Structure 1
Amino acid sequence: MKTLVGALALVSVAVTSLAQAPAAAKPAFVLHAARMLDVSAGKIITPGEVLVEGERITAAGPNVAHPAGAKVIDLGDTTLMPGLIDAHVHLFLHPGAEDLQTVEESVPQRTLIAADAARLDLLAGFTAERDMGTEGAGCADVAVRNAINSGLILGPRMRMSCNAVDILGGHEDANDFNPAQHVLSNADYANSLQQLVEVIRQQRKDGADFTKIYETGPDSLHNGVFQTPYQYTEAELAAAVAEAARTGGDRTSGRGVAVHATGEPGTGYAVAAGVASVDHAYQLSDATMKAMHDKEIYAVPTFAIAEYFADQAATPERAAYLRGEQAYHAAEFKKQMAIGVPFAVGSDVGPFPHGTQAREMELMVEYGMKPADVLRADLLHGAKLLGWGGQIGELKPSYYADIIAVQGNPLDDISTLRKVTFVMKNGAVVKQ
């Protein structure tokens, strides 16, 4: 008994000592560069310094305190800025025939490819992304997100959707294969309001953050007239939006509904239903644009993928058609800007190489948006769209330390976003 009492006393002392031991100090960094981007103001601060303690920014400005023990990283003639955001990516796709890779490659193989794609995007400076459907890999994206969050692999902060949702014979169904082979769709089928709700429930059970729905397609442009059939009615989309809100959050939470929607009436149905974003948005009516402005529903143009497909087209005729479609979209983009449609930045990367999607922002500038506005769309609107507004997208105290450095000044030359020399995510240096 004396031995037992003595042992318990020793345990008590040990526990008390642990409780009283000082917490391990958080790693601290002072990042110094020639310049720093103030996203909201659209201006450059000279010089720029950011104090990072643990996973958060604690100070940012021309000069910050240098606490004892903090590691100073001098990044020289670069611009410090928040990590980039891509609101429309496909980690499970790579260059090549989409319809064949989803048939020929196993889900385990595609998951390994997705993990590497996440790494490439992070090293290119994209510290937060939204994956818009695994294209037939179910909820394998949830495993990728969880592996990133646990530190097992490198990658951005992720919002995952599992498969996109589509009707039988819809935009992403395996329509051009031999029917006798019963090739699986690259999406989850939902052919009614009830089935939409059921699919959303199943995907949320399996770990999806948000829901992606195909609302239009296939598209056609002839003699300047753009047409695309809709897939779901406004009532069906409204039910999906309501179920997503019930199981995750509204469109401001990063857990709502995003739609692939290129033109009317589908784009109008989606906006009336209250989706979080209209991705592609080639054609929006005046009423739809006004509603997007009033409700703060984001258009995500995805110019980079269209340029890539035109460059890689199998025939000159196909290339000419795709370039004509891009020109149409660029003209509509100018109308959308004039009316005040809010934009986020998404590249549709995957069918073109991961890590190269800063090209999207170059094209937005080429088609008429000022660099400062493109950066606001990417960083401020992107953070809100992913449900991380007030946490990422700016260099401010209490924000997550997702920080990059680029060569040059992005307000003068947006292509500097291709020249990322430093990446920090969550207070950890991943590229220097």
Structure 2
Amino acid sequence: MLKRLDLRGRSDQIAELLPRPEMDAAVSSTAVRELIDHVRTGGDPAVRELTHRFDGVDVPDALVPESDLRAAWKSLSPSLRSAMETAHQRILEFHRTEAAVGHTYERDGVSVRSISQPVDRAGVYVPGGLAAYPSTVLMTVLVAQAAGVDDIVLCSPPGPGGNLAPSVMAAAHLCGVTEVHRVGGVQAVAALAYGTETIRPADVVAGPGNAWVATAKQLVAGDVGVASAFAGPSEIVVIADGTCPPAAAATDVVLQAEHGPGGQAWLVTWDLAYADAVCDAIGQIVDLSPRRDETLATLDADGFVCLVDGPAQAAEVANFVAPEHLQLMCDGAEELVGKIRHAGAVFVGPWAPASVGDYVAGPSHVLPTAGTARFAGALTTDDFTKRMHVVDVTEAGFDRLAPAVAELAEAEGLWAHAASVSRRKEWSTSGIRP
């Protein structure tokens, strides 16, 4: 089920021996671009056609009535409503405390204020179809709201009956989102980026999805803001030793694999007997899972058990993989954190499974995948804002800095730039105020 990689005694060859995380090679950028262009030129009819082609349902009117969102919330069990409210509170509080605050820099008569301004409209994508992810509604919408975005539109693929899961609609209602469309896949990303007759374009598109969705986000970047990195199929690396029960490590290896194919699941350990015990436990857990087929598809294709010399080499492996989720369930886990440079989120100790981060810890579970954690991080309020600088200059400050401005401008051959300071000095000495 899991491919075995033995790096013991071969620390200088890690890059050669480990599979390089990469985007699904089966996804053609050309094919995705064609779908985007089809929606860009064809509007709502193109979206409807693609929904029928890929989701197998005809959705004449994709907008979900607000009354359906309210009814979905009321239909939930009290325990599920309470769980959603708990997650809602923690996610919103965390991102409000993390939200960027302005600061002021003053020197030599120049004052620069840095102000964080939210975008006007955010589009969030929530995966769906055969599965329901109300948590992703919370993990995207609430981040945008904490950033100060007032206008949020949500797209999610319809299920076999043409509707969204009640839990997804209920989560949208809890978050106060009133514009929800039953549109998924590449067509949703294109509609959010460029707009259709019924979906106004957004300034930023955020949210995870399969490789097609993630590729579509990459292709529209530049025409619209794309939040976070390549948020594609889910991944996990579990670093564990004999201090963690094999069944616990096995469950945590499986927990992201059950999302289905395309992601990766790793166990990294320096104990051969422990690795065998975890692999045995994984087989038992998979057999019990209602999502056995989806889990097996991931583990058979991209499941690995990696034997290393010790914790230091385990950290090297984790940094090479740069996983979406990294769990440290071993002796000295806290000290090992200091050796980790590349991971979307790190979960430390036996009581911190990645599932806590998926639902209630606070930070968004929209994380970089396919190795993009080497240069990108989790979805945050920064993805929905941009920095605006406000510059004030006193006359004394101008006098100090004008010569440097003129010198640099002349070196670049920009006459007007130099004149903008030299002429002001002439105006000042002649009594003319700018």
TM more than 0.5 = no
TM-score with structure 2 setting the length: 0.28
Structure with more strand by fraction = 1
TM-score (norm 1): 0.28
Q: Looking at secondary structure, tell me which structure has more helix per residue.
A: 2
